[in-house]
Amino acid sequence: MTPLRVYLVDDEPLAVDRLRRLLAGSDVDIAGSTSDPETALAFLSRETVDALFLDIQMPGMNGFELLARLPEQPLVIFTTAYDQYALRAFEVNSIDFLLKPIDPEHLQRALRKLQSLRG
Amino acid sequence: MTVRFYLRVLAVATAAALTGALLRATMQDIVDPNRILGDFARIFLYSCCVSMPAASTLHYLGHRSAWTRGLSYVALTVVVLLGATVVGCLMADLILVAVGILPANQYWPEFSFAFRFGVLLTLTFGLSMSFYEVVRGRLEAADHALRAKQIAEERAQKLLAEARLSSLESRIHPHFLFNTLNSVSSLIPTDPARAEAMIGQLASLLRFSLNANATSLVPLNLELKIVRDYLEIEKTRFGGRLQYRIEIPPELDNLPVPPLSVQSLVENSVKHVIAGQPQGGEIVVTAKVDQGRVQVQVQDTGAGFELGTIPEGHGLDQLSGRLALLFGPNAQLETCRTTTHAAVRILFPKTA
C-alpha cells in the first residue's frame, strides 16, 4: 500500500513542527507544510494530496476560506485548539477533528479512517 | 400620600357643593347670584362635614385586607356614606345654630331637608370617588410591584455580570490556553529550556487570573509582569510576527490598576494585529497620570476599530464592564489613531 500523501497547514510554526514529529513514525508521506495559508493555496492548486491537516483560525484566510478557494476538495482533518468550530467542520469534507495539543492515539485513529476511506 | 388623599376629598366636596347649589337654583328658579353663593357656602359646610368622616372611615377600612373587594365593598361603602350623611348633617346644623345662622327651633326641620338632599349628593359623589380610589389603589400597587421586580432584576443582572467577569474563561481564552499547551508540547524535544520557561509564564498568568478579583485593584508593575509573560508566550507562538515595547516610568510601579485591564488591551491587539495579519505587527504599552486621572494606552500597528462595534462578551466589552463595576461613570475606554498606530486607552481616577 502506498503511503498517504498529506499536507500540513497551521499559522503557528511550532504547531506544524509538532504535527510533523507526530506523523514521523506513521506510514505517511508529508508532501509539504506551511504556516502561511496563501502558500498552501498555491501548493494545493497545482498538486493533489490524499488529505489536508488544516488549522481553522489563521490570519488573512481561515481554514474554511482556504477550502472554499481550492479547485478540488481534498479530504480534511481539522486541527484546532478549541472546539467552537466542530459543527461547521462537519459541513465540509472532513474526516476528523483533532484538538490541540493533539493526542497521538487520536491522530492514529484519524489516519486509519483515512486509509479505509482511500480503500 | 394621605395629605393628597384629603385634598382630593376636599375637591370632591367642593364639586358636590357646587352641584348642590346649582341644582337647588334650577329647581327653585333662583336667579340672585348672592343667594346661590350663600347656598353654595351652606352646602359646602354640609359636604365638608359629611365627606371628612366618610373619607376617613373608608380610607381606614380601605387599607384593611381583602374583603374590601367586590359587592361587599360597595355595600360597606353605601353604609358608611349614609352614616356619614346623618352625622355630617347633624354636625353642620349644629354649627349653623351655634353661629346663629339657623334658629334653634328650626334644627330638626332643617336636618330633615338637608339629609334628604344630602343623601343624593353623598351617594353620587361618594360612590364615584370610592370607585376611583379603589382603581387608583390597585394601579399604584401594580406599579409598586413592577418597580420592586425591576429592582430585583437589576440586582440579579449585576450579580450575573460580576460572576461572568470573575469566571476564568472570561480571563483566559480557551484558544490561547490550548495553543500554548500545544506550543509547549512542540518545544519539549527540541528546546526544553524554552518549553520550561513557557510553562512558568503560563503558570504565573493562570495564577494571576485565578486570584484577580473583579472588584479590587493591583499595582501596575504586577499587571505589567503578567502582560510581559503573556506577550512572551505569544512571541513564542507567533515568532517574528510579534514585536512589543513596554515603556512605563518606574515611578508608576505602584499605581493601582484593575487586574487584567492592560492585559485585555494587549490581548486584543495580539488577536487582531498579530494573529490576524500574516505580516504581524508591533504593540506599545505606555501609561501616565494627568490631573489625578490615570491613562494607560496600548498602541498597535493595526487598522484600529470603533468601540461601538465591539460585540457583547468580547474581551473589551468585559473590560468596560469591569471598569463600570469599579469606577461607575468615572472610567472610560477610548480609541484614537496616529499616522502609524491605532491606540486604545483606559482612563480612570487615581485612587492612591
Which pLDDT belongs to residue B66?
Answer: 44
In this prediction, residues B201-209 reach a mean pLDDT of: 91
In this prediction, residues B245-256 reach a mean pLDDT of: 94
Amino acid occupying residue B329: P
Residues of chain B with C-beta less than 8 angstroms from the C-beta of A38: 278
- Regarding predicted confidence, which is higher, B104 or B282? B282
Most confidently modeled range among A81-85, B173-177, B308-312: B173-177
What's the whole-model pTM score?
Answer: 0.63
CA-based R_g, chain B, Å: 39
Chain mean position to CA B40 = 49
- Regarding predicted confidence, which is higher, A102 or B318? A102
Q: What percent of chain B has pLDDT over 70?
A: 94
Which pLDDT belongs to residue B165?
Answer: 64
Residue A14, min C-alpha distance to chain B (Å)? 6
Distance CA B5, CA B142 (A): 19
Q: Is the pLDDT of residue B162 over 50?
A: yes
| A92/B contact by beta carbon, under 8 A | no
| pLDDT tens-digit map of B2-31 | 888 889 889 988 998 898 888 888 888 888
Residues of chain A with C-beta less than 8 angstroms from the C-beta of B182: 12, 14-15, 18, 81, 100-102
CB nearest to A17's CB, from B177, B186, B277:
B186
In this prediction, residues B179-206 reach a mean pLDDT of: 94
Which pLDDT belongs to residue A39?
Answer: 95
- Regarding predicted confidence, which is higher, B243 or B306? B243
CB nearest to A12's CB, from B181, B189, B237:
B237
**What is the ipTM, given to two decimal places?**
0.84
State the burial class of residue B289 (Cβ atoms within 10 Å of its Cβ: 0-12, 13-18, 19+).
Answer: middle
Buried b (16+ CB within 10 A) or exposed e, B78-110: eebbbebbeebbebbbeebbeeeebeeeeeeeb
Q: What are the backbone angles phi and psi of residue B91, rounded to the nearest 5°?
A: -65, -45
Q: Are strands A94-99 and A75-80 parallel, antiparallel or unpaired?
A: parallel
Residues with Cβ within 8 Å of residue B277, at least 6 apart in sequence: A59, A60, B241, B302
| Cross-chain Cβ contact B186/A21 below 8 Å | yes
In this prediction, residues B296-303 reach a mean pLDDT of: 93
Which pLDDT belongs to residue B67?
Answer: 47
Which pLDDT belongs to residue B136?
Answer: 84
Residue B277, min C-alpha distance to chain A (Å)? 5
Which pLDDT belongs to residue A10?
Answer: 95
| Cross-chain Cβ contact B182/A81 below 8 Å | yes
Q: Helical H runs in chain A?
A: 13-24, 37-46, 63-69, 86-89, 104-118
| pLDDT tens-digit map of B31-79 | 888 888 888 888 898 889 888 888 888 888 765 544 456 777 788 888 8
Residues of chain B with C-beta less than 8 angstroms from the C-beta of A82: 174-175, 178
Distance CA B138, CA B298 (A): 56
Residue B164 — very low, low, confident or very high, per pLDDT cuts 50/70/90? low
Amino acid occupying residue B19: T
The three-state secondary structure class of A26 is coil
| A103/B contact by beta carbon, under 8 A | no
Residue B200, min C-alpha distance to chain A (Å)? 18
CB nearest to A12's CB, from B179, B189, B278:
B179
Q: Is the pLDDT of residue B205 over 50?
A: yes
Which pLDDT belongs to residue B214?
Answer: 64
Q: What percent of chain B has pLDDT over 90?
A: 32
Which pLDDT belongs to residue B118?
Answer: 86
Residues of chain A with C-beta less than 8 angstroms from the C-beta of B186: 14-15, 17-18, 21
Residues of chain A with C-beta less than 8 angstroms from the C-beta of B184: 101
Residue linked to cell 353654595: B40
Residues of chain B with C-beta less than 8 angstroms from the C-beta of A11: 275
Query: Within chain A, which residues score under 50 in pLDDT?
Result: none
CB nearest to B183's CB, from A11, A14, A82:
A14
